[in-house]
Amino acid sequence: MAFTAQDVKALREKTGIGMMDCKKAMEESNGDMEGAIEYLRKKGLAASAKKADRIATEGIVESYIHPGGRVGVIVEVNSETDFVARTEGFQRMVKEIAMHIAAADPAPRFVTKEEVTGDFLETEKRIATEMALATGKPANIVEKIVEGKMNSIFKEVCLLEQPFIMNGDMTVQQYLSQKTAEIGEKLSIRRFTKYVLGEGLQKRNEDFAAEVAAQVASK
């Protein structure tokens, strides 16, 4: 039985599992939705889907400062109970997520795809179009270049869509789903902030002495 991208999307919405795992499940089940869900459960992935409608209001706010003090991250990750939030396994998971945010290149700007604003997408499309036009390629090729860029934008800017820095074979969403199944509670990343030393500041001319000498000489 054949299946479409919409079928994969429907499976993802029903289970909360990552797109690649859902696609694999549909392939293994020959496009059968129930068979795909059963496949995910056998893999231990769909256990987290049963918790999708629960509310996670506990958790911790964790910080990570990269050695050298030039990059810092603050992230809030929620669990259902304070008991889980105080466990070593949960705290280690949050620390690893903070480390991912610190190291990820490009740096994530949103947690989920749903958080990406229309203004941001419009700006990215305009930049992609201008860059593609600058190559001098035909209009149909430019259109494909822009389309490819926009298709990949979510993987670049959404934390949950990025390849997990600790294990490139899974996304951050898949890592979170795995931990949800292991811990037995709904877990969610609510928000984060990344600080980079000097970001947004105008760099000072380091050769200050030479600059002063040049000014004196011009008088």
3-class SS string, 41-96: HHCCCHHHHHHCCCCCCEEEEEEEECCCCCEEEEEEEEECCHHHHCCHHHHHHHHH
Q: Give the model's pLDDT for residue 1.
A: 65
Residue 213: both structure tokens together: 């000498």
Which of 88, 82, 41, 98 lies closest to 185, judged by CA? 82
Residue 84: both structure tokens together: 């889980």
Q: Is 8 exposed, middle or buried (0-12, 13-18, 19+ CB in 10 A)?
A: buried
Judged by DSSP in three states, 16 sits in coil
Q: Tens of pLDDT along 46-96?
A: 555 555 556 667 899 999 999 999 999 999 999 988 888 999 999 999 999
Tell whether pTM > 0.75. Answer: no
Q: Give the model's pLDDT for residue 198.
A: 86
Q: Is the pLDDT of residue 125 over 80?
A: yes
Nearest-angstrom CA–CA distance, 13 and 189: 18
Torsion of the alpha carbons at 161, 165, 170 and 174, rounded to the nearest 10: -60
Q: Supply the CATH classification number for the domain 56-114+158-199.
A: 3.30.479.20
Domain spanning 5-51, CATH class: mainly alpha
